[in-house]
Amino acid sequence: MSVDPMAYEAQFFGFTPQTCILRVYIAFQDYLFEVMLVVEGVMLKKLDSIPGCKISPSQIRKCTEKFLIFMKEHFDKLFAKMEEVLLQLVLNIPKNVLLPEDRVQEQYPYSKEEFQALQDELQQLQQQCRAEAAAGQALRAELEEQKAVKAELEKILQCFDGLESICREHGAGNFKESFALLTQCSKKLQDVLKDVEEKSKKMKQHDQLM
């Protein structure tokens, strides 16, 4: 059996020529075995019909096996010649023949160096695509975060609007002015509270000394 991969032929036929020839060989061999079994059966029937025949079925089987070996040896020699003819003249695509799907290579030929350059460029483009995809994912995550912050700010604004409405209902005037006044009052209260805490600490220290 030929060891040539014959890849171009496999591309055209859809199977390797060696596989085709192997299947033909197996089919012929199976047919040969079946024929020998039929011949053996006919011989046994003929011998049964001959009175006084001393040839036993086991002797017939030995003769059949010898004849089968003889036939198989000659068959293998003939098939080797047939295989050579099939591979060279039937299942072989000449070197000057170009398949239709490969004619684009004839129109746009390229060298190994050019092909490698295209491969490198393709790899760079793939890396850029992956980087852009990662950047897009990061932007989407940032956008979701901004949406969450915006929602919180809207809640705060609604709260301020509610406070301003309450201030107007109670005649507190402008909310900004009221808020500034509340801030000042809160700071004064914090100062007073801090002063009270300091005086309380001093009184405790004085009582301990007494």
pLDDT value of residue 122: 92
pLDDT tens for 4-23 read 667 878 888 888 888 889 99
Distance separating alpha carbons of residues 26 and 201, to the nearest angstrom: 109
Q: What is the mean pLDDT of the chain?
A: 79
**Residue among 91, 100, 104 nearest 10 (CA):** 91
**Residue among 83, 84, 79 nearest 32 (CA):** 79
Distance separating alpha carbons of residues 86 and 80, to the nearest angstrom: 10
Q: Give the mean model confidence (pLDDT) for residues 21-42.
A: 91
pLDDT value of residue 181: 59
Percent of the chain with pLDDT over 70: 73
175 pLDDT exceeds 60?
no
pLDDT value of residue 198: 75
Instruction: Return left, alpha or beta for 36; rule: phi > 0 is left, psi -120 to 50 is alpha, else beta.
Output: alpha
Tokens read off for 210: 């007494």
189 pLDDT exceeds 90?
no
Residue with the larger pLDDT of the pair 96 and 23: 23
What single-letter DSSP state applies at residue 14?
Answer: S
Global model pTM greater than 0.85:
no
Coil vs helix vs strand at 159: helix
Tokens read off for 110: 């390229």
The dihedral built from the CA positions of residue 167, 168, 172 and 173, taken in this order, carries a sign that is: positive
Distance separating alpha carbons of residues 147 and 155, to the nearest angstrom: 12
**How far, CA to CA in Å, does 18 sit from each of 76, 82, 86?**
15, 12, 10
Nearest 5°: phi and psi at 14? 90, 5
Tokens read off for 32: 């040969």
Distance separating alpha carbons of residues 67 and 89, to the nearest angstrom: 32
Q: Give the mean model confidence (pLDDT) for residues 57-73.
A: 89
**Residues 22 and 11 sit within 8 Å (Cβ to Cβ):** no
